[in-house]
Amino acid sequence: MRTQNDVELANSHNNTQIENNQSTVETLISRVLGVPEYLITDQLEYQSIMEWDSLGHISLLLALEKCYGLEILPEDRTLLTSVGAIKKYFDPDSSEAVKNGFNSEVIESSNKTLYRGLNGIAFDKTRISSIDGKNGHLHYRGYSIHDLVEQSHFEETAYLLLYGKMPTAKQLEDFDRELKNSRKIPPAMLDIISKLDRAHPIEVLRTVISAMAMYDEERNSSMFFKRRSIRLIAQIPTIIAAHLKLRSGQTIIEPSATLSHADNFLYMLHGTPPTKRVSSVFEKILILHADHGSNASAFAARVVASTNSDLYSSLTAAIATFAGELHGGAIEKVIGMIKEIGRPELAAAYVERQHAARKPVMGFGHRVYQTEDPRARHLREIAYNLSREGGEPLWFDILEAVVEAMKSYIGKGIDVNVDFYASVIYHLLSIPDDLFISVFAAGRLPGWIAQVQEQYDNNILIRPLLTYTGEKDLSYVPINKR
């Protein structure tokens, strides 16, 4: 935290710096975020407006440091999440107090505390995933993601998420057999897929998952939840691959009854079983994608489950949410960014243009992690090795150039996330760009199902409130007098 000497140093710079910039804290924030100054009230908070996103926040911290000639200490960055907090930090004599910590606001008229986006709010307990955003740690059911990605495989990790414990050899054998026997989809689903051949793959996946409920006579029976879950995990790759073939005018490849989950997925996409090296890479990606706590899609699934709706409805909501570019859809945006940059030496100029236009650099920043996303470490290594082995280093080199151009932001807590290197890996695995989101979703399915099961097991209707801030007590005026 700041010492008295720090405060004195900051104050010694204040008058000169602000006078030279003809600025106040409010005008500085207004200028950096690109919003009118009248909006810059003490109650305005980080992530409460579109302009004050993670990239805008780092830009603001850098501008404040430059203006006041003072480095903001790492432990202080998480405190500067409102205009009031920033004013108090740089002007300790300010009469305005910092209110309520991160991203919260007391609504005096209703005596409620508003947490926009439910940021920082724990709505329930979980035994599925543990995420330490400050130190960059991720665990599934108590097991480090680093151990799982190096030593486990998808079937074992999926079993862990669904059943809450590691399987014995016999349990894993039975689980694997049931997956392999459940891969075929009803013929009626192929008819639906053929009619949606021009739709985006994630739209097809969402629609087919919803429609599959009609062909499951046991869909409302909790007794068969695990069997239903295994069937869906097995069938999603079949749906994705079938759509790819149908839209290309090719023959659908029937799922294998002997290949592993990862190998069968790639086999149906490409027509030949993958090499051992490619298989290992793809399996690691599926494990890294398997769960990530109560993110937007998992929360959507749990909200639906909390109404006692069925698993298909919950997964449909999860997939629809996941498709958004602020969530799973970001992975497709990263590949677009790489293509737009074109060459590594153009990355710095691209980052400058994005910053000047107040646009994000895709693949950077995370709502939870304040340091490197622990999944990104493995994905970077995989992307590097795969690009060198395949003789196609260009795209990886572009990403590394983007990282170099983003160094000032990385030092302030905006680091690469799971989408950044995964996009290049998918490309190097010859997966079409518009399948990226769907393939990511296929990996995430065990986690979504585990989240839904946990909601069912200790259910309570998820029903947050909204704070009304509109007009009140208006008199009705007949339409002929308006």
Q: Which amino acid is at 57?
A: H
Task: Give the residue carrying structure tokens 């459940």.
Answer: 182
Report phi then psi at 202, rounded to 5: -70, -30
Residue 419 annotated in active site:
yes
Residue 355 annotated in active site:
no
DSSP per-residue letters across 186-229: -HHHHHHHHHTTTS-HHHHHHHHHHHHGGG-TTTT-GGGHHHHH
The gap from C-alpha 176 to its chain's centroid, in whole angstroms, comes to 29
From 139, 366, 378, 427, the catalytic residue: 366
Answer whether 23's CB lies under 8 Å from 383's CB.
Answer: no
Of 55, 403, 442, 119, whose CA–CA distance to 285 is shortest?
442
From 153, 289, 327, 355, the catalytic residue: 327
DSSP code of residue 447:
H
From 42, 291, 310, 419, the catalytic residue: 419
Residue 131's beta-bridge partner residues? 138
Residue 327 annotated in active site:
yes
d(CA 206, CA 201): 9
C-alpha atoms less than 13 angstroms from C-alpha of 271 in its C-beta half-sphere: 6
- Three-state DSSP state, 466: coil
d(CA 345, CA 159): 45
Element (H, E) at 381: helix 374-389
DSSP code of residue 72:
P
d(CA 183, CA 98): 56
d(CA 431, CA 240): 11
Q: Tell me the H-state helices in 249-344.
A: 261-270, 276-288, 296-306, 311-322, 330-341
Residues taking part in catalysis: 327, 366, 419
